[in-house]
Amino acid sequence: MSTQSSNKAIVTVGTAPTLPYSHAVKAGGLIYTSGVLSQEASGNIVPKGDIKGQTKAVIERLRAVLTAAGSSLDHAVSVTVYLKSAGDFAAMNEVYSGFWPKDPPTRTTVVAECNRPDALVEISMIAVPTGAERVVIHPASWIKSPSPYSYAIRTGDTIFLSGLVSRNGRDNSVVTGDINAQTTVVLDNATELLKAAGMTMENVVSSRVYLPDGASFQQMNAIYRKYFSSSPPARATVVAGLAGKDYVVEITLVASSAPRRVIDDGRPANPNLSAAIRAGDRVYLSGMLGNTPETKGDVGAQTRETLARIRRALDAAGCSPADVNDAVVYLTDIKSFGAMNDAYHAFFERDFPARATVQTGLVAADGLVEIMFTAGCAGK
């Protein structure tokens, strides 16, 4: 079932969610799905303790959502996999690869707790409607990824890159080194991928950085700034485990050839990120926090302050909460899920965006919640 709201269509499969998210949102030529767990209609996670069974059930549920939205798994362009344990990576991959024997979507896999303690995996997707453009981008000198993902996929003016780690694309060898060396390799690889698509790092509009060790944050930033010396993309950086033990950073990028402008929301400029980037009719917001002396230790208050800051950025971009299509919420303690949801529900009231919510660390020592949105503001 699909219902129209503002510039987006809300897609519901079966019973509407009782929590503040939609099964999927269709907007601006893309379909965003919420993070999906291996749940029965009763809400129970099944099969218990079985990563292969849960992975299969999750992807089958996503298949049903995409079908209802006029798409399919073959039209997925970007996937994020949240694994409870890095030890489950190989078994998850074994099942996952069976769904995409050819030209799989881009993918990022990180280690994070889901909002149910017995959930071993959560997966969210971005897809295009059936028949829409979907082109795999692969540098001529690179060999195929050893895992079931494409390095980059273009649809229209937008390119989605997989989560990149410190690997040599020409032979898939791991490039070891400290955070400085690995960040350099990752961003050099991103530069090469974008060049193969006719773009540059200046086209990057959104970035997600995953660090297993938050202490490397400032060192990563120093290298990162060399690649984005002005008008950096929107960005969220969280502390999360990676699937490979050799890696100390993973970065996921989205780029666009659409007319691009930095959104000024009135806050002091940050050399590492822009509050928001508008590319054509799409607005990418940075992960925002609401940690202040007044909100310290109170996840509900921090969520409200975070969303107030997001509202100012949306206003500056000519958008509103009704235009938000996709969200990711990072909580330092998943036990705060209910308190976060209360504030989040009040912000939207209805027609919620797709959303994934996971437990990660944050680089702000007293931050309890970080929220990142993508909005579509066609005609505004």
CATH code of 281-380, in short, is 3.30.1330.40
Task: Give the tens place of pLDDT for each residue, 283-299.
Answer: 999 999 999 999 999 99
Tokens of 309: 């800051």
Q: Rounded to the nearest 5°, which phi and psi values hold at 219?
A: -65, -40
- Is it true that 29-132 and 135-277 share their CATH fold? yes
Burial of 351 (0-12, 13-18, 19+ CB in 10 A): middle
Nearby residues of 184 by Cβ (< 8 Å), 6 or more positions away: 223
Tokens of 69: 């939205």
Q: What residue spans define the domains of the chain?
A: 29-132, 135-277, 281-380
Domain 29-132 has CATH 3.40.50.970: no
**Cα 352 to Cα 9: distance, rounded to the nearest angstrom:** 10
Per-residue pLDDT, 7: 77
Per-residue pLDDT, 244: 93
Nearby residues of 231 by Cβ (< 8 Å), 6 or more positions away: 202, 260, 262, 274, 277
- 119 neighbors 274 (Cβ within 8 angstroms): no
Tokens of 106: 């881009």
3-state secondary structure at position 201? helix
Tokens of 133: 């453009």
Per-residue pLDDT, 6: 56
Task: Give the tens place of pLDDT for each residue, 174-194.
Answer: 999 999 999 999 999 999 999
- 211 neighbors 239 (Cβ within 8 angstroms): yes
Tokens of 182: 């690995």
Q: What does the radius of gyration of the chain's CA atoms come to, in whole angstroms? A: 19
CATH fold of the domain at 135-277: 60s Ribosomal Protein L30; Chain: A; (3.30.1330)
- 275 neighbors 310 (Cβ within 8 angstroms): no
- Residue numbers of the chain with a pLDDT score lower than 70: 1-6, 380
Cα distance from N-terminal residue to C-terminal residue, the chain: 27
Tokens of 209: 């950085």
